[in-house]
Amino acid sequence: MRAPRRSVVRRTVAVAAVLGTTLTLAACNQAAGGGAASSEEFPSKTVDIMVPAAAGGGWDSTARAMQKVIEDEDVVSEPVEVFNVEGGGGATGLSQLQKDEGDPHALMVTGLVMIGALEQASSPVSFEDTTPIATLTSEAEAFVVPSDSQYESIEDVVAAYEKDPASVTFGGGSAGGSDQLVVAELMKAAGADPSQMKYVGYSGGGEAIAGILSGDVAVGVSGVSEFESQIEAGDMRLLAISTAETQEVAGEEATTLQDAGYDIDFSNWRALVAAPGLSDDAKEQVTEVVDELHGTQGWKDALEANGWADFYKTGDEAQEYIDSEVDRVAALYEDLGL
Amino acid sequence: MSQFGDLMGGFATVLSPEMLLFAVIGVTLGTLVGVLPGIGPAVTIALLLPVTYGFESPIPAFIMFAGIYYGAMYGGSTTSILLNTPGESASVATAIEGHEMAKRGHARAALATAAIGSFVAALISTGLLALVAEPVGRLAVSFRATDYFALMILALVTVTALVGSSLVRGLISLLLGVTIGFIGLDGISGQPRLTFDSPVLFNGIDEVLLIIGLFAIGETLYVLVKGRTRPGQVTPLEPVRGGFMWLSRDQWRRSWGPWIRGAGFGFPFGVLPSGGAELPTFLSYSWEKNRSRGKQEFGKGAIEGVAGPEAANNASFSGVLVPLLTLGLPTSATAAVMLAAFKIFNLQPGPQLFEENSDLVWALIASLFVGNVMLLALNLPLIRLWVKVLEIPRPVLYAGILVFATLGIYSVSGTVTDILIAYGIGVLGFLMRQFDFPIAPTILGAILGPELENQFRRALNVGNGDLTVFVTRPLSLAILLLAAAALLLPYAPRIVARLRGKDPEEAKKLAFADED
């Protein structure tokens, strides 16, 4: 998932409002009849999962996969709705979530990319203004080159960069997103200066792949699943993936950055958060539902189908992880001079 | 000719009652979505995704989705023609001549040439998709940033016909659009521009807001103010004599060329990863205006100006499917949502899709043909109904337009701020009409400006800031030379005449931009 930009996914839109309003109205009626919301069982009404980005991206697939599994496996008795709120790399959605303070039915999908976007947009709202429920998935970043590239390994790329940073053009999702951050992290680990990086940002996976195949971009960086079919078809060569743990990509075990000698464990994680100000009891109940979702076969299948790794942390563990990521991204932004 | 056999297999899948039912649902929904402002096919498909979770096979889902997209394209032309209120950028070019035709009593012919043209173009482009998807997809991804930049320049110099009667007014209108297009976070560095530090403007002004504001709201305000001084009714519908399917023999003769050329513009732009559906419609409009024998009719309702752009916007969709199916590249919002749908069914579009899931691919392609036949069958009889819209008393009609426009915006963004912005743009649209500035160049500027800048800066970034990158790559150079030729050729007779010492006024008649 990358911060939505206008050029490609322009007309994909959030239909939040009309749907959302109707649901909220319905919910209000229900709540009025059924007493105080906090003492109720969760869920007592429709569960809304907000996707703070356009339809069709990574957060969107995560939310829709959750919805599918919850409904297929009857995890909860109430319906689950997914809606999109586009804007500001997630900042618009996050500020909208503030309106539902204390309501466990208002959930939002988020992830690493949002940290950078909030930083970039100098957003007045931050991750502190949510109730983290669980981290769900992570996806390794892949470094790829066109199959006729001179670079045979990630070390070749680093060596070329050390010699002349301007000789290597990196390309991936929007500038300042996770794709650029992982390159910064690599160069930092290799002892080179990340601020010299030449990076071309694209607004969607499609455009980025076209940029790599056309030769505008020498080294492509994005989520593994974005490139998998190109790697399989032999159009691209995988140099390395960014996680510490290896995985199979297009039928072969991938080299990790750590294998190549760079101390990096970087993954594009996605998480589920609730509106701010949830009571401990409500948080517990939402977590139970997510626990059950996580245990289903349907969720395992969805992970597999999308090429996501299981990255499940809840409670304090999730909170700590997110906090540490916020600090890490802030430091990388500093290094990049963004 | 194995493709033919595969395609027949696809038809065998699609021509079952159940699949046809999904096609009917899709095209009907799509037509509705196209008629309503704001709500586009991408949103509709995203909303319907959960419905398809229960399907066992992805084929009916895709049949429905393709129907929605094409339906929206057919429906989009209806409001453009009848009310001058296009709901999306791909129908803006249609509105220019289409609405003039409606005002002169030729609404039925305009709607018919749009529907039949969409059909013809869809058949041609779907045929191309079936035959040449693989090689064309490969070729399209070889386009680099410098090539795109050159292509945008070529588009910019060849769409001068949009500018209308006054070059100065047209250029002001275009630059206004470019300025609006630059609002928001800069695509390359992420710096906010023209946002006045308001996070509301970080994502820029959505194209849909701009179009609804300038057209639907601007037009309503204009009618409101001018209503008393203008005749209360548009010219009554003229009966069609000696024709077939609402078009007279002469109109048929004048339409078929633009249909085919429109498809010729639409398909390649659809295939290009940064192509889009708007540019080919504007290019087709300009081409027809400059080439047509009915040139003097342009601006007063020339049928060529409806037939071409409508064919172009439909043809671009089959084009968009080429990179999506052959390479897994989603190059439009609708394609991005369809890609998400593929993933839900555990399918990975890309080089392997044609081999591993050829049943699905060919059923999808066959369904495009079937969907278009249905849309033609649905839309031609609907013309009789649609033209009744013109008989609705103006106050009621425009009140209705305002309600739907407002709802459309709210459904896009869910914020009241966007409604206010759209009304602000509406006032701008009113002033532009009042002072006789053309609207279409503003839309073109807002789309083309940022894209041109993006590609330019991308190319320079890749080329380490060296400006020669634009002339050292043969393809870019060739396109730029073509652009230079398009810019200068119309003046060639004048230049030659002047060199020969003849009266330049006489040679001027041949000029390309002679109305300016």
| Best of A2, A9, A12, A306 to mutate (most B CBs within 10 Å, chain B) | A12
Question: Average of pLDDT values for B395-406?
Answer: 88
CATH code that applies to domain A139-253: 3.40.190.10
Instruction: Give the rounded distance of the alpha carbon of B118 from its chain centre.
Output: 11
Calpha distance A47→A292 (Å, rounded): 15
Predicted pLDDT of residue B294: 63
Q: How many CB atoms lie within 10 A of CB B296?
A: 10
Question: Average of pLDDT values for B352-373?
Answer: 86
Write out pLDDT tens, residues A13-44: 333 333 333 334 444 444 433 334 444 678 88
Measured between beta carbons, the chain A residues lying within 8 angstroms of B323 are 206, 210
- How far are the Cα atoms of B140, B338, B435, B447 from residue B329, in angstroms, in the given order? 11, 11, 44, 21
How many residue pairs from chains A and B have C-beta atoms closer than 8 A?
Answer: 216
Q: CA gyration radius for chain B? A: 23
Predicted pLDDT of residue A133: 96
Question: Average of pLDDT values for B303-309?
Answer: 92
Average pLDDT, chain B: 83
Predicted pLDDT of residue A5: 38
Alpha-carbon torsion (B248, B253, B256, B261), positive or negative? negative
Nearest Cα neighbor of B353 from B372, B375, B327, B314 is B327
Which residue ranges of chain A lie beneath pLDDT 50? 1-39
**How far apart are the two ends of chain A, measured CA to CA in Å?**
20
Write out pLDDT tens, residues B209-231: 898 899 989 989 998 888 665 55
Calpha distance B391→A320 (Å, rounded): 65
Is residue B454 within 8 angstroms of chain A, CB to CB?
yes
Predicted pLDDT of residue A202: 84
Predicted pLDDT of residue B456: 93
Higher pLDDT, B96 or B195: B96
Predicted pLDDT of residue A296: 94
How far is A134 from chain B, CA to nearest CA, in Å?
Answer: 23
HSE-CB of A259 using CA atoms within 13 angstroms = 14
pLDDT band of B125, cuts 50, 70, 90: very high
The predicted model scores a pTM of 0.79
Instruction: Note whether A10 contacts B46, CB cutoff 8 Å.
Output: no
Predicted pLDDT of residue B161: 65
pLDDT band of B146, cuts 50, 70, 90: very high
Fold adopted by A16-138+267-336: D-Maltodextrin-Binding Protein; domain 2 (3.40.190)
Predicted pLDDT of residue A26: 40
| Structure-token match 């749009």, residue found | B114
Question: Average of pLDDT values for B265-274?
Answer: 88
Q: Which residue ranges make up each domain of chain B?
A: 2-472, 473-516
Nearest Cα neighbor of B273 from A172, A229, A210 is A210
Predicted pLDDT of residue B221: 92
Predicted pLDDT of residue B261: 93
Predicted pLDDT of residue A182: 93
Predicted pLDDT of residue B477: 94
Lowest-confidence region among A296-300, B61-65, B115-119: B61-65
Q: Is the pLDDT of residue B242 over 80?
A: no
Write out pLDDT tens, residues B228-237: 655 545 566 6
Write out pLDDT tens, residues B430-473: 999 999 898 888 988 888 888 889 889 999 988 888 888 899 99
Measured between beta carbons, the chain A residues lying within 8 angstroms of B53 are 68, 71-72
Predicted pLDDT of residue A205: 63
Higher pLDDT, A328 or B491: A328
Residue of A nearest to B458 (CA): A200
Q: Is the pLDDT of residue B388 over 90?
A: no
Facing residues of A142 across strands?
Answer: A222, A241
Q: Which helix (DSSP H) or strand (DSSP E) does residue B78 occupy?
A: helix B58-83
Alpha-carbon torsion (A68, A69, A74, A79), positive or negative? negative
How far is A39 from chain B, CA to nearest CA, in Å?
Answer: 30
- How far are the Cα atoms of A101, A212, A313, B28, B47 from residue B341, in angstroms, in the given order? 32, 25, 28, 20, 11
Predicted pLDDT of residue A48: 93
Instruction: Note whether A174 contacts B49, CB cutoff 8 Å.
Output: no
Predicted pLDDT of residue A22: 39
Task: Tell me where in chain A the CATH 3.40.190.150 domain(s) lie.
Answer: 16-138+267-336
A-contacting residues of B 310-369, CB under 8 Å? Answer: 323-324, 327-337, 339-340, 343-344, 346, 348-352
Predicted pLDDT of residue B513: 42
Predicted pLDDT of residue B353: 79
pLDDT band of B504, cuts 50, 70, 90: low
Alpha-carbon torsion (A120, A93, B178, B427), positive or negative? negative
Predicted pLDDT of residue A14: 36
DSSP H helices, B84-166, are 92-103, 107-140, 145-158
Task: Tell me where in chain A the CATH 3.40.190.10 domain(s) lie.
Answer: 139-253
Predicted complex: ipTM over 0.85: no
